[in-house]
């Protein structure tokens, strides 16, 4: 039986048509699930009894169950979900002034094998379904609804997995996030992060979804990038940047380049100079993410003075540059640290 959560709008419409029902019930069903947060078809009182019965015969409603919650000193909450097949995935909720951001996963593990990333060390176990992707948002929203009025204002798709490596389910999930009938999250408030799957970026730009795109760049030379991000063997920095130069952006939007600073690997003055040259002419902002050193990692955190110098160099060249505070470092909820729980039980 199919989960109604994450089931695409178009497919609901097709199913209704097949049943001889009016297509306008699609938006009613979506409104019940995503706005009124109905947990059963019984609650959908503006649908006929026979349609509710038919939905019940053909669909079920389920969200991924929360197995564990870890609350950080800074208010960040890491959720561990146990999926039906026993796989674990994680989402991280980060509250801050004026916005509450949820970082969600798209795969169990990841095949990209970035060497600074704990998830990458797991390898890919499997892709998540759109129900499991969307379900993380709904489950966290439900868990926090009594705590705050708008538990999730922003969604970043940069948890476990390379989102574009799970293309079809990802696109289904994003369509539901931004659909005015479903989750109704503004596409400005959804950010998709990728390690740089060039072919998939080219395909994604035709989807007309206009969510923010963040590129995990992390190096300014191919030799270094290949060492820390093996995907670079397939798509070099030049190929990636060439693709991004023509990425269609709305007038007020820009790309985000993520750059994890690893001590003595990619944090030199020369790196800052090269980065400035490489990104010249891009409508972009740069997020510098000082690596958060943890056990089992060969990498070290950069010196604070290095981070400041790196940022100042780029600021002086008129780039918008933020140093992203690592959130949830005491619960291994920071960037590149998801899958820690899976490690401890493996
Ligand atoms: S950084 Fe992202 S793409 Fe790279 S291994 Fe980790 S989860 Fe995968």
Query: Residue 25 belongs to what H/E stretch?
Result: helix 25-30
- Domains of the chain, by residue range, sit at 2-60, 66-345
Closest by CA position to 30, among listed 47, 9, 54:
9
Q: Whose CA is nearest to atom 7 of ligand 1?
A: 161
> Any idea what DSSP says for residue 149?
S
On the CB side of 204, how many CA atoms lie within 13 Å of its CA?
Answer: 30
Q: Which residues contact 212 (CB under 8 A, 6 or more apart)?
A: 187, 188, 190, 191, 192, 253, 256
Tell how far the Cα of 149 is from the centroid of ligand 1, in angstroms.
32
pLDDT of residue 342: 42
Q: Ligand 1 center to residue 216 CA distance, Å?
A: 9
Is there an atom of ligand 1 within 6 Å of 120 CB? Answer: yes
Q: Whose CA is nearest to atom 4 of ligand 1?
A: 114
Write down the catalytic residue from 110, 114, 117, 335: 335
The answer, yes or no, to whether any atom of ligand 1 lies below 6 A from the CB of 174, is no
Q: What local confidence, expressed as pLDDT, does residue 146 receive?
A: 86
pLDDT at residue 340 in the model: 42
Contact 153, 99 (CB under 8 A): yes
What pLDDT sits at residue 345? 28
Q: Quick count: other Cβ atoms within 10 Å of Cβ 238?
A: 10
> What is the 8-class DSSP label of residue 35?
I
List average pLDDT for each run of 10 residues in the chain, which is 346 residues long.
Answer: 96 97 97 95 96 97 96 94 96 93 96 92 95 98 90 95 97 97 96 96 96 97 97 98 96 95 97 98 96 84 97 98 81 55 35
- Cβ-Cβ contacts under 8 Å for 78 (sequence gap 6 or more): 69, 70, 72, 90, 91, 92, 93, 328, 331, 332, 333
Pocket flag, ligand 1, residue 117 (CB < 6 Å): yes
CATH top-level class of 2-60: mainly alpha
Kindly state if the Cβ of 159 falls inside 6 Å of ligand 1: no
Pocket lining: 162 vs ligand 1, CB cutoff 6 Å: yes
Give the Å distance between the CA of 79 and the centre of ligand 1: 18
Ligand 1 center to residue 90 CA distance, Å?
Answer: 14
Q: Is 196 in the pocket of ligand 1 (CB under 6 A)?
A: no
User: At the topology level of CATH, where does 66-345 sit?
Assistant: TIM Barrel (3.20.20)
335 is catalytic: yes
Q: How far is the CA of 112 from the centre of ligand 1 (A)?
A: 6
Tell me if residue 225 falls in helix, strand or coil. helix
Catalytic residue among 90, 132, 169, 258: 90
Pocket test for ligand 1, best of 112, 124, 219, 291 (most atoms within 8 A of CB): 112
Indicate if 239 belongs to the active site. no
CB 258 within 8 A of CB 214: yes
Decide: 108 in ligand 1 pocket, CB within 6 A: no
Of 60, 44, 61, which Cα lies nearest the Cα of 52? 44
Nearest protein Cα to ligand 1, atom 3 = 162
Answer whether 112 contacts ligand 1 (Cβ < 6 A).
yes
For 328, other C-beta atoms within 10 Å of its C-beta total 24
What is the distance between the alpha carbons of residues 117 and 110, in angstroms, rounded to a whole number? 10
CA 162–ligand 1 middle distance (angstroms): 6
What pLDDT does 87 receive?
Answer: 96
């Amino acid at each position: 039986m199919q989960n109604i959560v994450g089931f695409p709008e178009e497919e609901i419409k097709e199913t209704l048509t097949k049943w001889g029902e009016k297509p306008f019930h699609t938006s009613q069903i979506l409104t019940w699930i995503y706005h009124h947060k109905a947990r059963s078809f019984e609650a959908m009182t503006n649908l006929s009894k026979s349609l509710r019965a038919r939905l019940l015969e053909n669909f079920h409603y389920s969200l991924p169950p929360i197995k564990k919650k870890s609350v950080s000193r800074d208010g960040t909450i890491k959720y561990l979900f146990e999926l039906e097949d026993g796989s674990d995935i994680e989402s991280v909720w980060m509250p801050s002034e004026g916005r509450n951001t949820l970082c969600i996963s798209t795969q169990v593990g990841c095949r990209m094998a970035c060497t600074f990333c704990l998830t990458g060390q797991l390898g890919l176990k499997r892709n998540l379904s759109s129900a499991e992707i969307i379900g993380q948002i709904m489950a966290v929203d439900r868990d926090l609804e009594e705590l705050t009025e708008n538990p999730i204002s922003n969604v970043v798709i940069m948890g476990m997995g390379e989102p574009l490596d799970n293309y079809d389910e990802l696109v289904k999930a994003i369509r539901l996030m931004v659909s005015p009938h479903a989750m109704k999250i503004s596409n400005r408030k959804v950010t998709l992060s990728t390690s740089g799957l060039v072919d998939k970026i080219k395909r994604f730009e035709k989807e007309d979804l206009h969510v923010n795109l963040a590129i995990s760049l992390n190096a300014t030379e191919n030799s270094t990038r290949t060492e820390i991000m093996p995907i670079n063997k397939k798509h070099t920095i030049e190929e990636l940047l060439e693709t991004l130069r023509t990425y269609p952006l709305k007038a007020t939007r820009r790309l985000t380049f993520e750059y994890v600073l690893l001590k003595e690997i990619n944090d030199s003055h020369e790196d800052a100079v090269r980065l400035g040259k490489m990104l010249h002419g891009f409508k972009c902002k740069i997020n510098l993410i000082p690596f958060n050193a943890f056990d089992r990692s060969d990498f070290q955190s950069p010196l604070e003075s290095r981070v400041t110098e790196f940022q100042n160099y780029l600021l002086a060249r008129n780039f918008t540059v933020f140093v992203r505070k690592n959130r949830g470092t005491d619960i291994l909820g920071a960037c590149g640290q998801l899958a820690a729980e899976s490690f401890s039980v493996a």
